[in-house]
Structure 1
């Protein structure tokens, strides 16, 4: 993994790898898709080689365009419509409702 200037940054690489190991441990049957903004640190040869070796699918969107992320077109509007008008007693209830809705979304979407 590399830092912003393209030099190796082992401090950042270890947590990144650990995150994917944890995801794999808990989701063995599901594919992993990584959305990224095509910044050079996300598209370096080393990063791509690692992700492909882990069978992680890459999906990019234009560099520094958070307004074009897929979650803005489907996920957030869908969750907003589903949860509209509901009241929650705690933050945990709201988070649980969000998670439940996200898990109900078919993988094809």
Structure 2
């Protein structure tokens, strides 16, 4: 587990409304229900790409407005990741194994060639298995819960808050995520590759 570095992408909105649970108010049983208006997430958003391991965040970057994740961009991210590994995880650069889902930019021929060239082996990810994508079921829900209800004027404000939240998490938080991945792998095997909800 110590050699696994997991990575994924997720949209981060300038404003994401609170959930019903977060916006609940205490009221007397005879008082009228508060009026609530339907609120939706803002259209302004940035795409976060993050790689992390049992110790914490290894590499984080945000995509410029108007660009998308494709193979070329993902290869550029992998090169940046390898450089960052040399600086922050020198002891495990040679032993690292990448765990990411099977989105097209992650599985393209161009990406596979770059992974070989960079000597970054990957853990095979079964198709249609979002339940085994570690960031999707562990990291992003906690991050988005923190961001809910906050208003950001600029991309820089969003990025600063995301980085601040990531720095505030302990190594035990990240190690717990890795342990949860192993639990899901076991459940998947026990259920004969059936989908794992929780």
TM-score range, shorter chain: 0.5 to 0.7
Question: What is the CA RMSD across the aligned residues, in angstroms?
Answer: 3.9
Which of 120, 135, 151 aligns to 1:87? It is: 151
Q: Given the superposition, is the C-alpha separation of residues 88 and 42 from structure 1 closer, same or farther in structure 2, using an over 3 Å criterion?
A: closer
Task: Answer 1 or 2: higher relative contact order, Cα 8 Å, separation at least 6.
Answer: 2
Name structure 2 gaps, 5 residues minimum.
1-69, 178-198
More helix by share: 1
Q: What is the aligned partner in structure 1 of residue 133 from structure 2?
A: 69
CA deviation digits over 1:42-87, x for unaligned, max 9? 498xx48x64674535234321334542222111111022223332
TM-score, with length taken from structure 1:
0.53
Q: How many residues are matched? A: 95
TM-score, with length taken from structure 2:
0.34
Does the aligned pair in 2 maintain the 1:51–1:57 contact within 8 Å? yes
- Matched residues in 1 for 2:103 and 2:149: separation? 37
